[in-house]
Chains A and B, each alone.
Chain A
């Protein structure tokens, strides 16, 4: 394949909060500035901008990409926005990768931002329009239904106890306490247990309140550079070795929800590109998308990092802890840090970036890491976006 090697050379992020005073533009600017400062670059060095952000309805600004653009350093620059629901945070990096891999640009600033707090009465009201207006909305549907239906199917097919799924919440929320940007109040305390999770309110059974990631405002940014530029700037470039993305049908009631095959196809695409034939050995740290506790396990299986139905058992054995064989969501994930839709995915990529460089501070995993993977998901249980990074 005739494309350039692309590295991530800098990363930036804002705090994830329930409601930020900053406008979306200001959040994007804060993350972008931090990303640039982290690698000693300025706006002049950025040749293109790839922005990922989810529905305009959240921030409440039409043409949100264009609105955010000057907070993303894109004034008078080639700019593109991509959008694929929750998958946008990783999609934007894939999109940015194209900008540089094609040889068209030497640098690309990838930015993801979301300000969900503007939506009234609650972001749910915007989320609900994802359902078909004729065949679904008249039933009085709320967004949690689809997750509860998928979670129950997954549990029933593989006989997974609720306690095991609750363990994901505990792992990620406690991991998240070590992330400087974690949302205040996202975790009741440092002594959270499975019992606490199962005593939290039942929202839509089997989904309990502490199994759901919160509504958040936040932004994250990454600086991508071609090999030529990356090597001059840093002795620790993190290479984008594989990218993959895949979309399934929106007829979500016509497919079996127990397994996210669209994540598998996206992962295979990324593994093939990265030359990975045994992901369980060759991926050393992973950040699967975890908007709900069960989803981390669901996605780990889709990523072929565990056999179907095996992820819960590996979780119980401690394999996915920070000191386990395959640390998963060492950042704390969406459950532990927050969920500003697209920025959450980019936060995960930033985490792998920091982990591979040994810069993750208290979150640094115990084992040596040379290759990591970040994955996002979105829409009606539809899209998988995957990026494989390596040192």
Chain B
């Protein structure tokens, strides 16, 4: 560093960002989560031009920008497309039981939902497992209204 040769003691300043966020769900999200809360159903929206049904639903088609006005209820059962097990929480603390998380898709629908799996033993979890949503008895409008997905029962 050339002629400047006296280096001050290393100092570290601790601080944070001081912000938090409150998000609106948006036009599509509002409709999706209200339907989940009030009627206990999952909705998707459809682009007739592209022949795609989107989950989570959107008010515009990301492929052709058409405004999407056709909404449909999803079939009650989906399939585990892929899954993983969590052994630690966000703070890197070890969990007492591993938690199964899966990407769940529905026939004929583009996209899917990521959520926890419950009421299932780890060895039962596999791609292609048929699952159904278990909803909270009291719902407030948010992803937490779905408790988890479990292997579907006839």
Q: A–B direct touch, CB within 8 Å, in complex?
A: yes
Q: Does the CB pair A33–B60 fall under 8 Å?
A: yes
Interface residue stretch chosen among B17-25, B97-105, B117-125: B17-25
From A120, A133, A134, B19 is in contact (CB under 8 Å) with A120
Q: A23-B24, A26-B60 are in contact. Are A73 and B65 (CB under 8 A)?
A: yes
Q: A33-B65, A42-B64, A43-B65 are in contact. Are A26 and B26 (CB under 8 A)?
A: yes
B7: interface (CB < 8 Å)? no
A121 cross-chain contacts in B, Cβ below 8 A = 19-20
Q: Give the Cβ gap from A376 to chain B, nearest Cβ, in Å.
A: 24
Q: Does the CB pair B18–A128 fall under 8 Å?
A: yes
Q: Does the CB pair B28–A26 fall under 8 Å?
A: yes
Interface centre among B27, B64, B65 (most CB of A within 10 A): B65
Count of A-B residue pairs with CB < 8 Å: 73
From B24, B27, B63, A19 is in contact (CB under 8 Å) with B24
Docked complex: B1-27 residues within 8 A CB-CB of A = 13, 15, 17-27
- Tier of interface size on chain B: 20 to 34
Interface residues on chain A, number (Cβ under 8 Å): 33
A250: interface (CB < 8 Å)? no
- When chains A and B are docked, how far (Å) is the Cα of A129 from the Cα of B25? 27
A5: interface (CB < 8 Å)? no
A153: interface (CB < 8 Å)? no
A137 cross-chain contacts in B, Cβ below 8 A = 15
- When chains A and B are docked, how far (Å) is the Cα of A21 from the Cα of B29? 10
A21 cross-chain contacts in B, Cβ below 8 A = 24, 26-27, 30
A36 cross-chain contacts in B, Cβ below 8 A = 65
B62: interface (CB < 8 Å)? yes
Contact with B along A20-35 (1 / 0, CB 8 A): 1111011001101100
Q: Does the CB pair B60–A71 fall under 8 Å?
A: yes
B44: interface (CB < 8 Å)? no
Q: Give the Cβ gap from A210 to chain B, nearest Cβ, in Å.
A: 26
B binding-site residues for A, Cβ under 8 Å: 13, 15, 17-30, 59-60, 62-65, 67
- When chains A and B are docked, how far (Å) is the Cα of A82 from the Cα of B135? 42
- When chains A and B are docked, how far (Å) is the Cα of A221 from the Cα of B21? 26
A273 cross-chain contacts in B, Cβ below 8 A = none
Ordered by A's residue number, 28 sampled pairs between the chains whose C-beta atoms are within 8 Å are A19-B24, A21-B30, A22-B24, A22-B26, A22-B27, A23-B24, A23-B28, A26-B27, A26-B60, A29-B65, A30-B60, A33-B67, A42-B64, A43-B63, A43-B65, A57-B17, A57-B19, A60-B21, A70-B62, A75-B63, A118-B21, A121-B19, A125-B18, A125-B19, A126-B17, A126-B19, A129-B17, A129-B18
A119: interface (CB < 8 Å)? yes
Q: A60-B23, A120-B22 are in contact. Are A26 and B59 (CB under 8 A)?
A: yes
B15 cross-chain contacts in A, Cβ below 8 A = 133, 137
Q: Does the CB pair A119–B60 fall under 8 Å?
A: no
Q: Give the Cβ gap from A115 to chain B, nearest Cβ, in Å.
A: 9
